[in-house]
Amino acid sequence: MLDIHSLAERAANRSQPEKKEVSKPKPNLKVQVLEFLKAEGPSFPVKIAQGVGRESFFVGAVLSELIEVKQIKLSHAKVGGSRVYYMPGQEEQLSILYEYLPEPEKQAYDLLKEKQIVRAHETTPVIRVALASIIDFSKPITIQGEKAWKWYLANEEIKPEPVREIKQEITKVQESQTKIVLEQPRIVQPKVQEKIIKEAPKEIIKPTPKPKVTKEDTFANEVEAFFQKSNIKILEKEVIRKNSESNFVIKIASQIGPLEMFVCAKNKKKISDKDLILANQKGQNKKMPTLFITTGEQTKKSKDYLEKVLKGFMIFKKI
């Protein structure tokens, strides 16, 4: 059975060109990705990986680094679970996302593009929600105290109105003017009660509660043992449900240097495509590739989704 190092090495070996007698130095992968985006415009991770001729797994790690240093941007709208990467200045080309938007968001897009500015009272609640959802194309502003949205490419510079500070001023102008009197709270003196001598209550001896026995998290221990055996360093650990689900952040050695990965570990008999989607979303939120570890088997739908959508972005490992 191949370990995680073997999987990473195999992916790296497939991406290496055959050796020739005279070889030119290959450009840095980051430079290749930036040059591709500059030439092709907003692109999906799979298209970028194909364009630079490298494995999607490594390209995904480079894209995360470029996002972190703000050399590229990431769209909010998704296409089949994947977002679009683009360079600053390519915002106008994000119109390629239009055909993938839900119908209400398409209507909001068309309305905002036509009018450039849409006030809340000018449209329906459904479109207002859609306007707030298409973050790539709308900018929230305030006009005369009313919420509004501006087309993201609009030339007009409309700044939100500053919040007005309301100050209450009390001035004495005429004797007839009403005075504001703050009544001080009345202090009620407690009544002196007669001391009532009662027979001291008998001491009640409560039984000592039995200490709770903490159930050992055998599944998390099994996953950690796998990491230790594979020489993988654990950076973070979060137990979602004992003996059922845990999340990790690990560091693994690769040909391009140390690589951090998000790990979703699930102790479950059947792994569905929804399990993979949720795990991949968590990995994207952390801007890391995902390793899915489980004791169970994949459903057919789960296998298809992993192969067609998550290939290069997620490694599936059964232990």
Instruction: State which amino acid sits at residue 113.
Output: K
Decide: residue 210, CB within 10 A, 0-12 exposed, 13-18 middle, 19+ buried: exposed
Q: What pLDDT, on the 0 to 100 scale, is given for residue 210?
A: 62
What's the CA gap between 273 and 293, in Å, rounded?
14
More confident residue, 227 or 204: 227
Position 165 confidence tier, pLDDT thresholds 50, 70, 90: very low
Residues in the chain: 319
Q: What pLDDT, on the 0 to 100 scale, is given for residue 253?
A: 84
Classify residue 175: in a domain, yes or no. no
Classify residue 223: in a domain, yes or no. yes
Classify residue 15: in a domain, yes or no. no
pLDDT at 63 over 60: yes
CA distances in angstroms from 253 to 17, 148, 316, listed in the order given = 21, 49, 18
Position 24 confidence tier, pLDDT thresholds 50, 70, 90: low
Classify residue 242: in a domain, yes or no. yes
Say how many domains are in the chain.
3
Classify residue 174: in a domain, yes or no. no
Classify residue 73: in a domain, yes or no. yes
What's the CA gap between 73 and 89, in Å, rounded?
10
Classify residue 14: in a domain, yes or no. no
Position 13 confidence tier, pLDDT thresholds 50, 70, 90: low
Q: What pLDDT, on the 0 to 100 scale, is given for residue 199?
A: 54
Assessment of whether the complete model's pTM goes beyond 0.75: no
Are 275 and 222 in the same domain? Answer: yes
CB 166 within 8 A of CB 174: no
Are 222 and 310 in the same domain? Answer: yes
pLDDT at 28 over 70: yes
Phi and psi at residue 68, to the nearest 5°: -65, -35
Are 279 and 230 in the same domain? Answer: yes
Please report, for the domain that includes residue 251, its CATH number: 3.40.1350.10
Are 77 and 108 in the same domain? Answer: no
Are 75 and 111 in the same domain? Answer: no
Instruction: State which amino acid sits at residue 303.
Output: K
Q: Which H/E stretch holds residue 39? A: helix 29-40
Please report, for the domain that includes residue 39, its CATH number: 1.10.10.10
Q: What does the DSSP assignment read for 230-270?
A: TT-EEEEEEEEETTTEEEEEEEE--TTS-EEEEEEEE--SE
* Residue 134, domain extent: 101-151
Are 115 and 64 in the same domain? Answer: no
